[in-house]
Amino acid sequence: LLQNLIANRQPLFVGPARVLADNPDKLTNKIDEAHMQLAKDLSEILRRAETEVIIITPYYVPGDRGVQLIRDLVAKGVRVIILTNSLASNNHVPVHSAYARYRRDVIRAGVELYEMRANAARELNDSEEGPDTLTLHTKAILIDQKKLFVGSLNLDPRSVHENTEIGVVLTSPVLVEDVSNAIDGALDRVAFKL
């Protein structure tokens, strides 16, 4: 999605970056908070958000703690936008059904919640050509028009508790503004607002 949204622009973006990662020992140990380092670090970064958080994730099952996190962000005046797969664009129906249980709570928390349209690829290309169904697979978070997290982490229990994940937080206001503007310009064409 990000590649399609900024395909016509080829600028060089430079900025400080921080790698967030789970220790591979996570795979061989009993599930424990101490082994969920990436999720812990990312949560701390999100809690420091001041104005806006845009979350793009194919699988979104926030659990009660995730709902509380976004509730806390909205309560302090942070605009939260979440884009995830719809049932029609999702390639894992069980994950979608787990997400569906949290939809109302997320919306009531004040989040602008969007689900990807299955025909989004054709909308992005402004043609009838392309795949019949597009499944969102991007995992990115834009924070305060300054920081961009991109990585392997889905926002679901399996990724947080069981998988070993990695990502990069890049500080680049120019890049984040570019991506944010591209998302704003395309969101209503490629997704349904709930």
What pLDDT is recorded for position 163? 83
What pLDDT is recorded for position 184? 84
**Residue 40 CB contacts under 8 Å (≥ 6 apart), including other chains:** 33
Question: What CA–CA distance (Å, rounded) separates 186 from 156?
Answer: 25
Residue 101 reports pLDDT greater than 90: yes
Q: Which whole number is the average pLDDT over 21-32?
A: 80
pTM for this entry:
0.87
- Residue 178 exposure: Cα atoms within 13 Å on the Cβ side: 17
| Residue carrying the six token digits 């926030």 | 62
The residue among 184 and 108 whose pLDDT is bigger is 108
Instruction: Check if the beta carbon of residue 94 is closer than 8 Å to that of residue 158.
Output: no
Q: Which whole number is the average pLDDT over 140-147?
A: 96
Q: Which whole number is the average pLDDT over 92-106?
A: 90
Mean pLDDT of the chain: 86
Taking each helix axis from N to C terminus, what angle separates 63-75 and 37-47, rounded to the nearest 10 degrees? 20
Residue 102 reports pLDDT greater than 70: yes
- Which of these, 184, 128, 191, 139, lies nearest to 5 by C-alpha position? 184
The residue among 93 and 77 whose pLDDT is bigger is 77
Three state DSSP letters for the chain: CHHHHCCCCCCCCCCCEEEEECCHHHHHCCCCHHHCHHHHHHHHHHHCCCCEEEEECCCECCHHHHHHHHHHHHHCCCEEEEEEECCCCCCCHHHHHHHHCCHHHHHHCCCEEEEECCCHHHHHHCCCCCCCCCCCCCCEEEECCCEEEEECCCECHHHHHHCCCEEEEEECHHHHHHHHHHHHHHHHHHEEEC
The predicted-structure confidence for 43-52, as pLDDT tens digits, reads as follows 999 999 999 9
Instruction: Check if the beta carbon of residue 138 is closer than 8 Å to that of residue 2.
Output: yes
Residue 2 reports pLDDT greater than 70: no
What pLDDT is recorded for position 183? 87
Residue 12 reports pLDDT greater than 90: no
The predicted-structure confidence for 60-84, as pLDDT tens digits, reads as follows 999 999 999 999 999 999 999 999 9
- Residue 86 exposure: Cα atoms within 13 Å on the Cβ side: 16
Residue 1 reports pLDDT greater than 50: no
Q: Which whole number is the average pLDDT over 123-141?
A: 72
What pLDDT is recorded for position 35? 72
